[in-house]
Amino acid sequence: MSIVESLLDFLFPPKCAACGTLLEGDRQLRLCPACFRKLDVLDGKVCKLCGKPFCGDALLCEDCNASRPPYVMGFAGCVYDGLAREMMLDMKFHNKPHLFRVFAALVIRRLDSMPGFVPPDVVTCVPMRPEKERERGYNPAALLARQVARHYGWTFAADLLDKVRDTKVQSTLSREERYQNVKGAYVVRAAKEVQGKRILLVDDVCTTGATFRELAELLQKAGAAEVICASAATTRHGEV
């Protein structure tokens, strides 16, 4: 936390982003203990490739066993349900961009629990169409990625990828339709900045993983050495 942020916290004590209670002690998560307990924070049984929680003794979920994703690892901060889903929808669609701090803190918490994690050369985000971003005023994925990169002192590059055509809202589509929906919707904009790099790709929510698969494949074709995918929240295996 910067000196300016510390001063602002002193002058204007932060409140829980969910219920408004004044925060005490550790304020990084921006949630009170009661609201934090409502989150299904991921630190247990997850697929070693996509990072989704699932049942069973295998290392990989059925989806990753059937079709290996083009990234080396995926992970998320929490499960996309309950309070996490409510806050995510508020952040994305109800003009509450400040909630990105909660989700960025969850991603950072997850990263801190992964010993031996090799830092990326560059952090980037899933892009929005420019007109959509102007209409909303911000890209939630960019806010998350920038905060995570800033926390660790990693390089953040928002312009590695472009979204070149509109897509339907993924939540309205079936699993197969989601994969078709993102095909050809993105391009690598800065190929020279991708070649030979280990890239951390950040999004707000991962459902089927279709967007991560599409973008990771594009980055690899552009010469990326490795792609790691991180989302603030993810559905459980088998959910869409």
Q: Residue 234 pLDDT more than 80?
A: yes
**Residue 220's pLDDT is what?**
96
Treating both helix axes as pointing N-terminal to C-terminal, what angle do 210-221 and 175-182 enclose, rounded to 10 degrees? 30
Name the percent of the chain lying above pLDDT 70: 94
Q: Residue 12 pLDDT more than 80?
A: no
- Cα–Cα distance between 192 and 136 in angstroms, integer? 30
Helix (H, G, I), strand (E, B) or coil at 9: helix
**Residue 1's pLDDT is what?**
52
What stretch of H or E contains 73?
strand 73-79
- Cα–Cα distance between 16 and 122 in angstroms, integer? 31
Q: Residues 110-137: what's their mean pLDDT?
A: 95
Q: Assign 166 a pLDDT band (cuts: 50, 70, 90).
A: confident
Domains of the chain, each with CATH number or no CATH: 1-38 (no CATH), 42-234 (3.40.50.2020)
Q: Residue 68 pLDDT more than 80?
A: yes
Does residue 163 contact residue 186 with C-beta atoms inside 8 Å? yes
- Which whole-number Å values give the CA distances from 81 to 17, 46, 89, 175, in the listed order? 17, 16, 11, 18
Q: Assign 10 a pLDDT band (cuts: 50, 70, 90).
A: low
Express each pLDDT in 182-199 by its tens digit: 999 999 998 889 999 999
Paired residues of 233 in beta bridges: 78, 205
Q: Residues 21-49: what's their mean pLDDT?
A: 88
Q: Assign 51 a pLDDT band (cuts: 50, 70, 90).
A: very high
Phi then psi for residue 29, to 5 deg, are: -75, -15
Q: Residue 11 pLDDT more than 70?
A: no
Q: Assign 177 a pLDDT band (cuts: 50, 70, 90).
A: confident
- What is the 3-class SS of 111-173, one letter each residue? HHCCCCCCCCCEEEECCCCHHHHHHHCCCHHHHHHHHHHHHHCCCECCCCEEECCCCCCHHHC
**Residue 190's pLDDT is what?**
83
